[in-house]
Amino acid sequence: MISVRNVSKVYNGSVKALDSVSLHIEKGEFVFVVGASGAGKSTLIKMMYREETPSSGQVFVLGKDLSRIRRREVPYLRRRIGVVFQDFKLLEEKNAWENVSFALEVTGTPRREINRRVSQVLNLVGLLDRRDAFPSELSGGEQQRIAIARALVRNPDILLADEPSGNLDPKTSMEIFNLLERASLYGTTLVVATHAQDIVNKLRKRVVELRDGTLVRDERRGAYNY
């Protein structure tokens, strides 16, 4: 599903964000990427949806070498990948329903199918009754739920999340991670970069740890720290 092969990333000619990282993730796995700020977590996540490309090495996602695909192919690849960000990235001028449906409208999905899928995912995240609310009318936790619904509405093969609970309180953070765990039960592959130690320790998924751009640990049913 995802294969990172001896990948390094250097910025400005000398700043090494990743250093010879190799990692293989199977379909349906739930993987936490942990490490201190600046360890390379976000860079690794960005590699997986081709926001960044390696300075050396290869990244294969859904059978494609992301260093070799043409620029015009990237949007089609991303239709199979959902991405959740720390700062939500919702469209302020659209309500909850419209924020989620927009992800399908841009791909030409028929209106009837859009209505079915948006209702389904808003119900999944528990916010169907808030469908008409705008981002400014939603709490941080509700905004993140809408962002997750938007990421899930296209039934992605892979869901990537970069610090999805970074701006949320512990209780809301746990609710967000429970939603992500539910998504994995449907066969979606999840890769989540996080600092949420308590949640990582509680869920006991696969843990990949980065330190100064180097992969130092890959542990099944792991905890945040050794």
Judge whether residue 203 has pLDDT over 90: yes
pLDDT band for position 206 (cuts 50, 70, 90): very high
- The answer to whether residue 183 scores a pLDDT higher than 90 is no
User: 217 φ, ψ to 5°?
Assistant: -160, 140
Mean pLDDT of 40-59: 96
* Farthest CA pair distance, the chain: 52
Task: Give the CA distances from residue 108 to residues 76, 102, 103, 154, in Å, rounded to whole numbers and listed in that order.
Answer: 13, 10, 10, 12
**What's the pLDDT at 184?**
85
Mean pLDDT of the chain: 94
* pLDDT for residue 33: 97
Helix, strand or coil for residue 119? helix
Give the model confidence (pLDDT) of 61-117 as tens digits: 999 999 899 989 999 999 999 999 888 999 999 999 999 999 999 889 999 999 999
pLDDT of residue 226: 63
Give the per-residue pLDDT at 126. Answer: 93
Instruction: Tell me what the mean pLDDT of segment 160-187 comes to.
Output: 89
Handedness of CA 216, 194, 41, 166 (dihedral sign): negative
Share of the chain above pLDDT 70, in %: 100
Nearest-5° Cα angle at 160, 163 to 4? 110
Q: Which pLDDT score, from 0 to 100, does residue 42 have? A: 95
Identify the band that residue 35 occupies on the pLDDT scale cut at 50, 70 and 90.
Answer: very high
* Residue 182 pLDDT level (bands cut at 50, 70, 90): confident
- Residue pLDDT, tens place only, 110-143: 999 999 999 999 999 999 999 999 999 999 999 9
